Structure 1
């Protein structure tokens, strides 16, 4: 029976090329703490990928990547603007505040968990310039957002322009970077530094890695303390080659993009099926590998009886004029590089039994 588990892309294991790269790196002795040739070679690999020299700092978790990235920009009295449902403000147990020694996050509203240049400009401009007020120092966006939407190149560039005009840096939480990239069909450079991104949390774990994330620094001024911050926080792995090897297998031959294309295609198939269910609709367009469905309660109950696994979702960022009815639920369905057509079709068949 196909799996009906659409709870997260984190439920998938590591892909075979990633596992093969780990096994290959495991053979024989190599220098520790990132001095091995695999790790040192990754800087060149990422520089080629982003078409410029970059600083690369590897960690094992997305929370560490985000918190360290923010800490490299924010002073303890600084302010980071993000969406009110952003992962950094809603799902990381205060890690950014902890790693920055006291900086704050200011949540902004926006449809589909997106923030726009006007709301950023208004939020920064209305802040008092008195010493009693924390100054804005960073804007952070999620790509893709917590509601599955993808910022277009023009949207990122507009946010970068507004931020930089006010002396504020731009961070991208790219936990689903690959899924957003293949959706836009652009280059990694176009989606980041060419559009004004100063620092990036580059995710691999959700898309085929075992546990591998990278902080990619485009602004050289931000790289100075990053490695010491990583060590001080306990995120410098002694056997760093086994972390770096994951990215070697992940990036080789465009494997990371193939994984993301498959996950996105499965999400599109799932979204099309959901839209065809009686009384069901999508809360937001499906632009990456997440489907946000508004379902009649009867369909939700039928799916649960069939063993389907997924999470209810917040309706705080629904589009204007959209609202849940008394007999409706909003749920998140996530596909992964391991999701099969049989799983998608099995889920839809179970849903039709409750229609």
Structure 2
């Protein structure tokens, strides 16, 4: 019963097989192999336009280097107050970009457009002492399991364009959001106004595969140097490309995300029907947040369940009682129905 994180899951067999095949041959290094080039072209097909793609190792690297490519001296980046780039990346986006993060509040992990406008207004372009508005970053799916609708993405993008700011999307769980919306990759990104995307594969069945995608290749002119300087240019980058080849083939990536989301739906339904637990707030991706008695949490852990305690967000709908605990449960491509049912049985017995 592993619900601590989708990072705990292994790699999908198809991806392992492709890595094994790649390990037996020679190929040009530093992103110049035929496979690297072929996967770059595959990204063009997926996003229905010419894009610039850069492979990196981690989601933190993807976010940090993407924002570094947009940086200006004295720059300020706007993100939800509880976004991963603010809460869980040890200041890496600030470090690599040289910019500060300005937190924007909003319900269910999504930036409130009115609040975003207000925050941007604090940093006019000539504000030498305060710094200047430079970029906006949004998380899709969000840190609390919600998903921006296409209309909501477009509204945030519209604010970005009004102020001449590029819009970055942290897509660590990009596939989970995509299948939930029933949209195409193009519809959820550049057609809505997104300029740069951190495209995540690791949480959804890859071993170690992330990419930075620029929807206007001209915006990516500095990224090769930024990536090299930050030690993210792999000599054998074809092993990232090989993972993406298997991941994207026959829409495997979408099937894996659908499965993870379906397991989360099963978990949500069981918790909603429970007499000993409640959903903390509505979610739509593969993350589920629940409030359970501390004694039940201890029993679940003793029974082999793995999950994380979670800090209450600022807009927690109903405060957690002293004898209760807020927990996060994350499903993955490797989660099985019996895992979910076993956890629900433990909760019911607790």
Using the size of structure 1 for normalisation, the TM-score is 0.96
Quick check: 1:116 aligned with 2:112? Answer: yes
Q: CA deviation at 1:103?
A: 0.8
Tell me which residue corresponds to 2:47: 50
Which runs of 5 or more structure 2 residues have no equivalent in the other structure? none
Match of 2:99 in 1: 103
Deviations 1:175-195 (A, max 9, x none): 000000000001000100011
1:42 & 1:8 partners in 2: Cα distance? 28
Is the contact made by 2:174 and 2:200 (CA closer than 8 Å) also made in structure 1?
A: yes
Instruction: Name which of 127, 136, 139 aligns with 2:133.
Output: 136
Q: Of 62, 81, 95, which aligns to 1:84?
A: 81
Shift of 1:308: 1.3
1:333 aligned residue (326, 329, 335): 329
Partners in 1 of 2:122 and 2:101 — Cα distance?
16
Q: Which runs of 5+ in 1 are unaligned?
A: none
| Aligned-partner SS, 1:73 | coil
Q: CA RMSD in A?
A: 1.2
| Match for residue 256 of structure 2 among 252, 259, 265 | 259
SS across alignment from 1:82 = strand
Quick check: 2:105–2:112 contact (8 Å CA) kept in 1? no
- Which residue in the other structure is 1:154 paired with? 151
- Note if 1:348 corresponds to 2:344: yes
Using the TM superposition, name which of 136-145 and 292-301 deviates more: 292-301
Q: What is the deviation of 1:280?
A: 2.1
1:322 aligns to 2:312 (yes or no): no
**TM-score, normalised relative to structure 2:** 0.97
Range that drifts further, 146-155 or 285-294 = 285-294
Q: How many residues align?
A: 349
More divergent stretch after superposition (13-22 vs 64-73): 13-22
Alpha-carbon distance, 1:279 to partner: 4.3
How far is the alpha carbon of 1:252 from its aligned partner? Answer: 0.2
Contact 2:135 2:166 in 1 (8 A): yes
User: Matches of 2:345 and 2:185 in 1, distance apart?
Assistant: 38
**Counterpart position of 2:122:** 126
1:202-235 deviations in whole A, cap 9, x for unaligned? 0000001100000000133320100111111111
C-alpha distance in 1 between matches for 2:314 and 2:340: 26
> How far is 1:322 from its partner?
2.1
1:20 aligns with 2:48: no
